[in-house]
């Protein structure tokens, strides 16, 4: 029998974050630039540093 894990329920869908990242990409930011911006400026307004790094 498999163990039940509710991790997926603890994570939000991140639709708005994906939309913001896509917008930045279309503005000319590279994926690395967006990743660095997310770490430095928390552009996705995430609560924890571990969550930001995901």
Looking at residue 14, what is its pLDDT? 75
Looking at residue 43, what is its pLDDT? 78
B/e letters for 20-54, b = 16+ CB within 10 Å, e = fewer, are bbeebeeeeeeeeebeebbeeeeebebeeeeebee
Looking at residue 35, what is its pLDDT? 87
This prediction has a pTM of: 0.62
| pLDDT, tens digit (0-9, with 9 covering 90-100), for 6-50 | 666 656 667 888 888 999 999 999 999 998 988 887 777 766 665
């Amino acid at each position: 029998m498999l163990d039940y894990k509710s991790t997926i329920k603890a994570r939000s869908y991140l639709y708005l974050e994906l939309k913001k990242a896509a917008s930045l990409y279309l503005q000319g930011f590279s994926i690395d630039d967006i990743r660095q911006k997310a770490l430095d400026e928390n552009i996705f307004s995430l609560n924890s540093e571990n969550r930001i790094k995901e």
